[in-house]
Amino acid sequence: MNATELILKKREGKSLTESELRFLVQGYVDGSIPDYQISAFLMACYFRGLAKDETATLTRLMLHSGTVIDLSDIPGIKVDKHSTGGVGDKVSLILAPIVAACGVPVPMISGRGLGHTGGTLDKLESIPGFRSGLSIEEYKNVIRKTGLVMIGQTREIVPADKKMYALRDVTGTVESIPLIAASIMSKKLAEGIDALVLDVKTGRGAFMQSLEHAADLARIMIDIGAEFNKEVLAFVTDMNNPLGVAIGNWLEVVESVECLRNTRGTNDASSDLMEVTYTLAGAMIMIGKKAGTIHQGITKAREAVHDGTAYAKFLELVEVQGGDRDAITNLERYPVSRFSLEVKSAARGTLQSIDPLELGLTAISLGAGRKKVDEAIDPKAGILLKKKMGDSVLPGDVLAMLFTDREEILQEARERIRNAFRISQQPAAPPPLIVSMIDQKGQRSWPPK
Ligand code: URA
């Protein structure tokens, strides 16, 4: 076999056999096939797609490119959640400690920022000292001890996705249903879960912009889960606007900590973030058999925030994984960007929407994400929103604050962000945040009628 022939075969829209896919995946992981050939293959997949069984095979091959962790000796139903990627989407940071505080063990392997979206791993690593590259033994010890563990892929765990994900990020090959499904499900199946809740984003800031594509992606991942005997429940959620107020790694940690401390998230600009968080957490708590229904799970999740147990769990996690607890308890001590700039409105009216794609891309140029595979991230960089959908705006009002060490891009970033805010005289009608719920039985509206 040779890689060029397989690239051509996919380019012609033909299906690859298991041994052909194995040749590519193994060859990429062991270094015998170079980045440029896998990039071409991924681009062919992007344009030609993969059949359902090819996607399942690719997932299995990626999964077995590394170790599949066995957590069967840890009591409880282990449930994780994964998002297909959004802007300002820091749900995992808040939800994982909530669910663990409610008694459901959460093993989580997350990715880095991808395309215009942020990654949980980059956010966690903005916490000084936080170790996301645990060995498998350490991973098991952390979940045994705290009921929660959050790491990234290592050379041991789904190395194929670790390499392909980084490559897709910089080769325009992210927005592909089979590639996203295989990437997410290989990671999730490797971490030792019993069940999974998916947050499949739809809208302008999502990789799947249409509802139809988002639902297709959800169904493919549910089917892959079923092949591996894992219950998968998906929510399709809106990403036509950013979630919460912060975009950028440390800024998002700060917002998450404030939500966990219950000083944000109720009737304020983070309440959209908390609505998604509580819904997904409620589903995980129900699947983990600590509540009879999703709504009872949501009530438990809210209680864990109100009584401080979720915040305590987050602090415990940070400490156990080597992070600086004081950085979380004293958020204001963190270094600040060399430059900050207010973006002011020139218009009067009601804020209709904030373009999440523009925000995500601008945050990357401020230093919060990567333009090349090996680029370092500036954890301090990013955007804080000062207005949200439905707010009234007057000329001169501050719409957002920008933070960066890169002075040269500030003016351009300001214009991009100003243009990302759509203000008009119409009353604003924000779209529903949770669009639908999908499981093996099909798609239903949310909340259930
Ligand atoms: N999240 C992932 O882990 N992989 C993708 O391809 C997209 C989102």
Domain span holding position 113? 79-155+162-330+433-445
Shared domain for 298 and 276, answered yes or no, is yes
Q: Rounded distance, CA 11 to CA 401, Å?
A: 44
CATH number of the domain to which 244 belongs: 3.40.1030.10
* Cβ atoms within 10 Å, residue 135: 11
Task: Give the residue numbers marked as catalytic.
Answer: 82, 161, 168, 183, 187
Model pLDDT, residue 449: 72
Question: Is 73 within a domain?
Answer: no
* 189, two tokens: 């199946």
Alpha helices for 307-441 (secondary structure H):
309-320, 325-329, 356-363, 410-420
Shared domain for 208 and 283, answered yes or no, is yes
| Contact criterion met (CB below 8 Å) for 124 and 110 | yes
For ligand 1, is residue 84 a contact (CB within 6 Å)? yes
For ligand 1, is residue 177 a contact (CB within 6 Å)? no
Model pLDDT, residue 197: 98
Question: Is 62 within a domain?
Answer: no
Shared domain for 123 and 253, answered yes or no, is yes
Model pLDDT, residue 129: 98
Model pLDDT, residue 285: 98
Question: Is 68 within a domain?
Answer: no
Shared domain for 206 and 125, answered yes or no, is yes
Ligand 1 geometric centre to CA of 115 (Å): 10
Q: Rounded distance, CA 377 to CA 364, Å?
A: 9
Give burial (CB, 10 Å; 0-12/13-18/19+) of 67. middle
Shared domain for 28 and 103, answered yes or no, is no
Tell me which residue has its CA closest to atom 8 in ligand 1: 84
Pocket test for ligand 1, best of 84, 158, 200, 209 (most atoms within 8 A of CB): 84
Shared domain for 267 and 185, answered yes or no, is yes
Pocket test for ligand 1, best of 184, 189, 191, 239 (most atoms within 8 A of CB): 184
* Cβ atoms within 10 Å, residue 53: 11
- State the DSSP string of 186-216: HHHHHTT-SEEEEEEEESTTSSS-SHHHHHH
Shared domain for 355 and 318, answered yes or no, is no
Q: Which atom of ligand 1 is nearest to the CA of 183?
A: 4
Sign of the CA dihedral with 148 first, then 307, 120, and 227 last: positive
Q: Which atom of ligand 1 is nearest to the CA of 119?
A: 1
Q: pTM to 2 decimals?
A: 0.94
* 202, two tokens: 């739809």
For the chain, what is the domain count? Answer: 3
Question: Is 248 within a domain?
Answer: yes
Shared domain for 297 and 246, answered yes or no, is yes
* 293, two tokens: 């229904």
| Contact criterion met (CB below 8 Å) for 88 and 359 | yes
Model pLDDT, residue 20: 98
Shared domain for 314 and 356, answered yes or no, is no
Secondary structure of the chain: what % helix, strand, coil (to 5)?
A: 45, 15, 35
For ligand 1, is residue 180 a contact (CB within 6 Å)? yes
DSSP single-letter state for residue 106 = E
Ligand 1 geometric centre to CA of 278 (Å): 22
Q: Which atom of ligand 1 is nearest to the CA of 187?
A: 3
Question: Is 105 within a domain?
Answer: yes
Q: Each residue of 276-333: pLDDT tens digit?
A: 999 999 999 999 999 999 999 999 999 999 999 999 999 999 999 999 999 999 999 9
Question: Is 56 within a domain?
Answer: no
Q: Which atom of ligand 1 is nearest to the CA of 180?
A: 6
Residues 7-12: contacts with CB within 8 Å, 24+ apart?
Answer: 7/37, 7/40, 7/41, 7/44, 10/41, 10/44, 10/45, 10/48, 11/44, 11/47, 11/48, 12/48
Residue segments in the chain with a per-residue pLDDT below the cut of 70: none
Model pLDDT, residue 430: 81
Question: Is 372 within a domain?
Answer: yes
Give burial (CB, 10 Å; 0-12/13-18/19+) of 372. exposed
Shared domain for 275 and 180, answered yes or no, is yes
